[in-house]
Structure 1
Amino acid sequence: MTVLSSQRKNVQLSDHQLYRLNQLLVFVSQYNGFYQQKFQDIQLPIRSAEQLSILPLTTKQDLVDDQKNHGPFGKNHSYPTVDYVRYHQTSGTSGKPLKVLDTKESWEWWEECWLEVFRSSGVTKEDHVFLAFSFGPFIGFWGAFEAAKKKGSLVITGGSQSTKERLTCMIENEATVLLCTPSYALHLAEVAEELGIDLTQTGIRKIITAGEPGGSVPSIRTQIETLWGATLYDHVGMTEMGAYGYSCSEQNGIHVNESQFIAEVINSETLEPVAVGEKGELVLTNLGRYGYPLIRYRTGDIVVHSNEVCACGNPYSFFPGGVIGRADNMVVIRGINIYPSSIESIVREFPEIKEFRVVYYSQAEMDQVKVQIEAKSEITPILATRLRERIGLRIDVENVEADTLPRFTMKAKRVLDERDQA
């Protein structure tokens, strides 16, 4: 791709986004009570990407308060309830779950976003797609289920099955693509080892992960790919926002689907854009979900702002390393900013560690952090040294008995905060 053609595409994309954004803004100013109030002093149309900043940011708390004050679904649903066909709710890992409804049109938009994920990972009509997912009200892989059907792939659901049953089902039915969280891909491999199953000899050749950071972390990706003998692709999305990003053949970060989303990266404290190469909070606007629009939404996802073009040739915005953490998960220990995902990326360099947990606690009125691991004791000093060298902080490593730490089928909760109990 030449620089000129890349620039031309960026201009076309920017014009496309601006046109669709103004269409959305006109719509919400007439039909969406939440944004009518939020944008009442804004003069439309928005004439350039630089003017986007005149629109106020939307936060998770804004949406929670909206549903609390205008229950049960809040005023951000643009249509009467009778026009909606799907109900979802957020996982609630960072607060009260949000209720999110989709119209038929908005749900079809979800499918199109997931089709882009499948296209980037090379999933075809010939694939047998296995979804290791509970199929509850959490959005999870519901959109993937619909998109795989639309693509014509054979869809195999493992909703109510145990881990052992899921392994048997995907093997007997010759599944070629597995969709699950990174944590569950590792847990499936752990159970397979106990059952004497060599996953590299199964039909699984592609794994698409979502739900938590990990799929774009080299150490985690390498461990999963080695255990399964498959290629891992990452995906990022949110119940309230949509399926906004995916990895590609280069496997070194996340592309934002800019045909359907506008992406910004800001400093979480100053709310100003960060410089190229700096970490910041991802802010997104969905352009096709009129039933539940979100405009300049603070996702809480931390990414590295980059202007590089991925070697795969995709001109969309690219975040190297994918989502590297959550703004609400960061803690400061003795002056060092710590994300649990940074610790996990180091722990996963040791395939001997079956499971782990990060524990925050207080000692002598100072915040401390330690890592509990299920592994042989000789790993302990090696991991402790590597954590100190990489994180820049002494982190104690504690061995625990095998099979004593919790396992997870969906979003993992590997952080235990005991500081309030001290």
Structure 2
Amino acid sequence: MVASQQQPGLHTNLSDTQLLKLNQMLVFVSQNNEFYREKLNNISFPIHSTKDLQELPFTTKAELVEDQKNFAPHGKNHTFTKSEYVRYHQTSGTTGRPLKVMDTKESWSWWEDCWLEVFRSSGVTKEDTVYLAFSFGPFIGFWGAFEAAKKLGALVITGGSQTSKERLNSLIDNDATVLLGTPSYALHLGEVAKQNNIDLRETGVKKIITAGEPGGSVPSIRNQIETIWGATLFDHVGMTEMGAYGYSCSEHNGLHINESEFIAEVVNPDTLKSVEIGERGELVLTNLGRYGYPLIRYRTGDIVIHSSESCPCGNTYKLLPKGIIGRKDDMVVIRGINIYPSSIEAIVREFSAITEYRIIYYTKGGMDQIKLQIETNVDISSIVATHLRDRVGLRIDVEVVETNILPRFDMKARRVLDKRDAF
């Protein structure tokens, strides 16, 4: 079904391997994929270096959504006929119309292999029992992890539609050694465990792999989760439309890009030019093995630091220090200060007495304002406010609310309430 995807063979140099895979992908999709045949119709292939990739047009989520709107239901970026696809997923739709993505048998196997790299970097083996605290709906979540754990040979236990208490009982009763979930849900399970007099440090869970939110690479969040569980936390990052492209390592100093399957660029989101080493920019990715749903120079919207530093763990793949700093779409400007919700969470999670929080944007006197609501049984609102002012550079009102009044989340948390349009 797919044009021959040759193994790199003697091409042991990473750039050579990437160039080989990239040209195979480009030649194939320019001939067989309607979406990219139109976008790449003026480009001659093969290209001669990975740097030449910068001459190709970007791909945006807005384009993909518009394509599916105009050519419903699945758009023209699905290379093959529907009968060739075996998996269906869709984005959460938190920032607009959900994007529908299907995978062929080959592309889904590629997903699994990308997740195997996550497991290897986390030290997960076939001797482990992997518990997935995930509802298994159409959101991609940990579906790839589920399949990869099976391929690895580990025992896999799914949480499905269980309650949080039932999930805790299941992972304890079945001696789970690895927990997969969002950072928010790992913390919430800690809250539920405390309410039920369960000491998570006495369970068999020794490793936690998080995804769906940037918290796993934020030291304060990672430390809080590790303290609650008595386990080591590893982070992972991926996207429904892109694939499982990054993971943390034993050094816990950021995220490695799986460069054997993805090419990464970091650009200024305004000028779209490459940023200098050490600067922040938007992560742009090209997947190299997903022929059923290719993406070339995809603007992820994730803000990262462009770095050339090597990692002491020995992994030579590109390292993103601090992981995903925030989402380009999530940034707001309050009284001249750029605010990322993830930056506020990093401070909030330094206080273990805070069980949940919410950020509220609102307008007062014609000016945009921000306040923080927290659930806590300790009088720390003024201390938190001081930390926020010193670190963020902005005075943020901190309001203590009743216990259990704020929402909890199994999957991606939505802790930002924007009320600015209400005034």
The interval holding the TM-score normalised by the smaller chain is over 0.9
Aligned equivalents of 2:124, 2:94: Cα separation in 1: 30
- CA contact 1:57–1:297 (8 Å) conserved in 2: yes
- CA contact 1:10–1:315 (8 Å) conserved in 2: no
The aligned residue for residue 413 of structure 1 is 414
The aligned residue for residue 268 of structure 1 is 269
The aligned residue for residue 190 of structure 1 is 191
- CA contact 1:223–1:351 (8 Å) conserved in 2: yes
Amino acid paired to 1:126? E
The aligned residue for residue 106 of structure 2 is 105
The secondary structure found in structure 2 opposite 1:263 is strand
Aligned equivalents of 1:48, 1:87: Cα separation in 2: 34
Length, aligned pairs only: 414
Do residues 402 (structure 1) and 396 (structure 2) align? no
The secondary structure found in structure 2 opposite 1:183 is helix
Aligned equivalents of 2:51, 2:125: Cα separation in 1: 39
| Unpaired runs of at least 5, structure 1 | 1-8
| TM-aligned CA distance change 1:10 to 1:305, over 3 Å | farther
Aligned equivalents of 1:376, 1:362: Cα separation in 2: 29
Amino acid paired to 2:33? N
- CA contact 2:353–2:378 (8 Å) conserved in 1: no
The aligned residue for residue 145 of structure 1 is 146
Do residues 211 (structure 1) and 212 (structure 2) align? yes
Amino acid paired to 2:348? V
| Unpaired runs of at least 5, structure 2 | 1-9
- CA contact 1:182–1:212 (8 Å) conserved in 2: yes
- CA contact 2:11–2:17 (8 Å) conserved in 1: no
Write out per-residue CA displacement over residues 292-324 of structure 1, whole angstroms, 9 at most, x where no aligned residue. 000000001111110000110100000111001
Return the offset for 1:20. 0.8
Aligned equivalents of 1:65, 1:362: Cα separation in 2: 32
The aligned residue for residue 46 of structure 1 is 47
Amino acid paired to 1:214? G
**TM-score, scaled relative to structure 1:** 0.97
- CA contact 1:377–1:399 (8 Å) conserved in 2: no
After TM superposition, the structure 1 = structure 2 runs for residues 288-367 of structure 1, keeping only pairs within 5 Å, are 288-367=289-368
The secondary structure found in structure 2 opposite 1:355 is strand
- CA contact 2:268–2:282 (8 Å) conserved in 1: yes
4+ long deviations beyond 6 Å = none
Write out per-residue CA displacement over residues 44-88 of structure 1, whole angstroms, 9 at most, x where no aligned residue. 221122211110000000000000001100000000000000000
Amino acid paired to 1:304? I
Aligned equivalents of 1:63, 1:116: Cα separation in 2: 28
Amino acid paired to 1:233? F
- CA contact 2:381–2:398 (8 Å) conserved in 1: yes
Aligned equivalents of 1:367, 1:11: Cα separation in 2: 53
The aligned residue for residue 31 of structure 2 is 30
- CA contact 2:363–2:369 (8 Å) conserved in 1: yes
Q: CA RMSD in A?
A: 1.1
Aligned equivalents of 2:38, 2:422: Cα separation in 1: 41
Aligned equivalents of 1:140, 1:91: Cα separation in 2: 10
Return the offset for 1:403. 0.4
The aligned residue for residue 21 of structure 2 is 20
- CA contact 1:224–1:232 (8 Å) conserved in 2: yes
Aligned equivalents of 1:15, 1:332: Cα separation in 2: 42
Amino acid paired to 2:19? L
The secondary structure found in structure 1 opposite 2:316 is coil
Write out per-residue CA displacement over residues 266-291 of structure 1, whole angstroms, 9 at most, x where no aligned residue. 00000001111111100000000000
Aligned equivalents of 1:50, 1:103: Cα separation in 2: 29
Aligned equivalents of 1:311, 1:390: Cα separation in 2: 29
Return the offset for 1:11. 8.3
Aligned equivalents of 1:17, 1:317: Cα separation in 2: 13
Amino acid paired to 1:95? G
**TM-score, scaled relative to structure 2:** 0.97
Write out per-residue CA displacement over residues 179-205 of structure 1, whole angstroms, 9 at most, x where no aligned residue. 000000000000000000000000000
After TM superposition, the structure 1 = structure 2 runs for residues 231-246 of structure 1, keeping only pairs within 5 Å, are 231-246=232-247
Write out per-residue CA displacement over residues 134-162 of structure 1, whole angstroms, 9 at most, x where no aligned residue. 00000000000000000100000011100
* Sequence identity (%): 71
After TM superposition, the structure 1 = structure 2 runs for residues 71-90 of structure 1, keeping only pairs within 5 Å, are 71-90=72-91
The aligned residue for residue 3 of structure 1 is none
Amino acid paired to 1:203? G
The aligned residue for residue 172 of structure 2 is 171
